[in-house]
Chains A and B, each alone.
Chain A
Amino acid sequence: MTLEIKHTFDEKNFRHYLNGFNMVLHCHHYMSLTTKLAIDFDDIGGTRILSESAEDSVRPLLEDYIRNHKISGDERLRIGAEFYSLMGMGKMEISGNAGAGNVKLQKSHVDSGWLKKWGNHDNPVNYFTRGYIAAVFGASFDKPARSYRVTENEAIVAGANTSSFTVEMVQV
C-alpha cells in the first residue's frame, strides 16, 4: 500500500504540511546531538522525554490517517511502518497484536546518523523509535498514550545487522 500524502505550503508563514501536519526537515547531526543531549541529561528524564515526545507528536498524524482512510487491522501497523520511511527514519518490519509485538529495523536514521558522526556505541540509542513504535501500537489498538513499553534489544549502532525491539502492553 502506498500512503496518500497531501503536501501543502502555507504562503503566509512559509510552512510545510503533510496531510495538515506541520513538518520540518532536519539532519542526522541534529537527531544524533538531540539523542546525545537526552542521554547526557538522563538524570532529569532525558531519554524518557525524547521517547514520549516522539510518541505524542507522531500519534495524531497516524490517527488522522487511520481515521480518514478507514484503515483497520494489521494494515494500521503497516501504515506506521510506511510513515516511518516517509519521514526518512528507516525501514521497519512490524508485527503484533494489542498485547505485544516485535519490530525490526533493517535501516535506521538514528543509528546510521550516530555511526556517521561518532561510530559504534555500546548501548542502543534509538529512543526516538521507541516512542514512535509506542505511538503506532497505541494508534493501531486504540490504547491511551504510554500503554506500551518498548525495549530495544539489539541495535545497529552497537554492531548488530538490524535493530530489534519488543513491545509489551502495560497498565496505564
Chain B
Amino acid sequence: MTVMRDKVVKDLVDITVKSDQDGLIPNFNVLVNQLPTTFWNSFAERMLAAAPPERREALEKALVQCAYECGYHTGYGIITSEEFKAVVMPMVTEGAKDVLRGAYAVFTAWGWAKSGIMQIHEGERMTIRASDYYEADGSKSDRKRAYMVRGISAAFFELAYSDPYPNGMNKFRCEQTKGIECGDAFGEFVVTKM
C-alpha cells in the first residue's frame, strides 16, 4: 500500500473553506484566503512587464520566495492537520516519500496544480510534473513563470527531508525545466540541494 492520490483527491475535494464571523479563514495554522487565480497571475505578469531587464531575475526570485515561505508554513499545517491525518496518513507505508505523495495529492485536490512526483531520490533530488497549473493561464511566454509551483516544491521537499520544522528552510531549491506556458505539454520542476 502506498498513498493513492485518487482516493485523497476524492476525499478532500469537497472540503470547502468557510470564513468565520470576522470574515477570516483560520485553518492549518495559517490565515487562508480564497481569491481569483487571475489576481495572482495578473500581479506576477504586470510586475514582470514593468520590471527593467536587469531586475527581472531578482523579481522572479522574490516571486518564488513568496510561494516558498507559504509552502513551508502552510505545507506543515497541512501535513499535521486532522484532514491529512484522517485521509492520507493511514495509507503512508513508505515514510517521507508517501507523505510527499500525499502532499502533492492535496496540492492537486485544492486546485493549485495537477501535479505529482515523477522521480525521487530521497533526501537528494525530486522531479515534479504538472499537467495543469493556474500560473500557465494566459498568454504564451518565453519565460517559465510557475513561481508558485517552484517555491512550494522546494518547501515540500524540505518538510519531508530537511531538519524538522521550523528549522529546515533554505536547504533545497527548485528550478522549472518545462512549462505549459512556454508551449510544453506539461510543467516540469526539479528540486535539488542548494
Contact = CB atoms under 8 A, between A and B. Distances in A.
A58 B46 contact: no
Interface in A7-66: 7, 9, 13-16, 18, 21-31, 33-34, 37-38, 40-41, 44-46, 49-50, 52-54, 56-58, 61
A90 B23 CA distance: 4
Contacts, number: 170
Contacts of B142: none
Contacts of A13: 114, 131-132
A92 interface: yes
Interface in A99-125: 106-107, 109, 112-113, 116
Given A23-B34, A44-B55, A88-B25, 7 more contacts: A16-B110, A38-B43, A46-B47, A87-B34, A89-B33, A90-B22, A112-B24
A85 interface: yes
Contacts of B112: 24-25
A112 to B, nearest CB: 6
7 contacts: A22-B37, A27-B73, A37-B59, A41-B47, A41-B51, A57-B38, A91-B21
Contacts of B126: none
B16 interface: yes
A137 interface: no
Contacts of B1: none
Interface of A: 7, 9, 13-16, 18, 21-31, 33-34, 37-38, 40-41, 44-46, 49-50, 52-54, 56-58, 61, 84-92, 106-107, 109, 112-113, 116
Interface of B: 9, 13, 16-17, 19, 21-25, 28, 30-40, 42-43, 46-47, 50-52, 55, 59, 62-63, 65-67, 69-70, 73-74, 77, 108-112, 114, 131-132, 134, 137
Nearest to B115: A14
Given A30-B67, A52-B46, A116-B31, A23 B108 contact: no
Contacts of A9: 13
Contacts of A25: 17, 32-34, 110-112
Contacts of A38: 43, 47
A30 B67 CA distance: 6
Chain A to chain B: the 6 pairs with minimum beta-carbon distance, closest first? A85-B23, A88-B25, A30-B70, A57-B39, A33-B66, A27-B30
